[in-house]
Structures are given as C-alpha cells and as structure tokens.
Amino acid sequence: MGPNFLECDRDQVLLLPPSLREWLPAGHLAWFVIDAVERLDLSAFYGGYRVDGQGRAAHEPSMMVALLLYSYAVGERSSRRIERRCVEDVATRVICANRAPDHTTIARFRQRHEDALAELFGEVLWLCADAGLVRVGVIAVDGTKAPGQRVASRHARLRADRARDPRARRRRRRRGGRALRRGARR
C-alpha cells in the first residue's frame, strides 16, 4: 500500500469546460510552474509522509510546492490570500487541480518544509534563467543613508528664501517673542 494523498489529476474531464487544460492559454505562467515542479527533485517533501496509507489524506506535495511557487511569483505570500486565490483565481485553481487547501494547511506545509523550500527556490531561479524568463545577477545594497542632492538643495533654497523674505523674518521674531512670553507666565 502506498502513501495516502488526495488525488491531484489536472487531466480530469469536467462538464464546463471539459478539461482544466482549456482554462488557461498554453504559455501561461501557471503551466511553466507546473512543468518546472515536475522536473525538480521533491524527495525532501515526500520524506515526512507515511507510506503505509494510514491517516488522513494529505494534499499532494508537488501541488503544494507549485501553489507556493506560483503564489510567490505573482506576489502573494499570505496563506489566507493564497487560500482565497485557490477559489477565485483560475490559474491557481488549475495548479491545485480545482482543490482548495485551507490557509492553515498552506502555512503548516510552508513551516514544515521551510529548508527544502529555500533550496528549491534557488533551483527554480536557475530554471527560469535557463528558460530566459529572468536575468540572474548580483545585487549589492549599501546601508549608507545620505540625503539626495535634490532634497539637500531644496532645503538650502528654502532657507535662503526665508532669510531674504522680510515677512518670514518678522514671523520668526513674533514666534520667538510668544515663546518668551509663555515662558515668563510659568
């Protein structure tokens, strides 16, 4: 007896439309993610599941990995929003084979397989680079903070304008006098 998983059959024939393959165009990102996940070594994800078929059926790990990869690719990281997309978004429904994993299931899968997912993202990045979807390079960020030239020159210009404007000087003097009067009352 093999592992006990909920079936993930994307070729399941439905009434309207007759096939999940017809829901999205051929070059859609969801198909690329599904194909990329099929090429990856997912043995680290399958290792934690029972092979005797006992217990409640789990979602197919390859489907969960594809769901997370696609969600991250479209900028969605919240488990609750990913769950909502599994119901509302056609591409995500195709990836999940029309199943909707609960947000807790998504979060626990992510937590349980955190190290394996981190390694997998590097592999996916190289697959994307090979396919010409991304350009891989090194980005270095320096933590030095300095005001921009426009900002610094703007502040200098404002100070100079205020120094030349006699009304601004009078207003500053009045404010200073008010502060002195308030201080004398106390």
Task: Give the pLDDT of residue 127.
Answer: 78
Q: How many domains does the chain have?
A: 2
- Asked if residue 161 and residue 110 are part of one domain, the reply reads no
Distances in Å between the Cα of 30 and the Cα atoms of 21, 53, 80, 118, 164 are 11, 30, 20, 20, 63
Domain membership of residue 41 (yes or no) is yes
Which residues span the domain enclosing 157?
149-185
Residue 65 covered by a domain: yes
Is the same domain home to 123 and 31? yes
Question: How high is the pLDDT of residue 166?
Answer: 66
Say how many C-beta atoms besides its own lie within 10 A of residue 139's C-beta.
Answer: 4
- 55 and 81 belong to one structural domain: yes
Burial 78-102 (b: 16+ CB within 10 A, else e): ebeebbebbeebebbbbbbbbebbe
C-alpha closest to that of 66 among 47, 50, 87, 82? 82
Q: Which residue has the tokens 């190289």?
A: 126
- Tell whether 80 and 170 lie within a shared domain: no
The pLDDT score that the predictor gives to residue 121 is 82
Per-position pLDDT tens, the chain of length 186: 678 888 888 887 766 666 778 888 988 999 989 998 998 888 888 887 878 878 788 889 999 999 999 999 899 999 999 999 999 999 999 999 988 999 999 999 999 999 999 888 888 788 778 878 777 777 767 767 666 555 566 667 666 666 667 676 666 666 655 555 555 554
Query: What pLDDT, on a 0 to 100 scale, did the predictor assign at position 4?
Result: 83
**What pLDDT sits at residue 79?**
94
Is residue 12 assigned to a domain?
Answer: no
Paired tokens of 140: 């270095």
The C-alpha atoms of residue 91 and residue 95 are separated, in whole angstroms, by 6
Residues 169 and 126 placed together within one structural domain of the fold: no
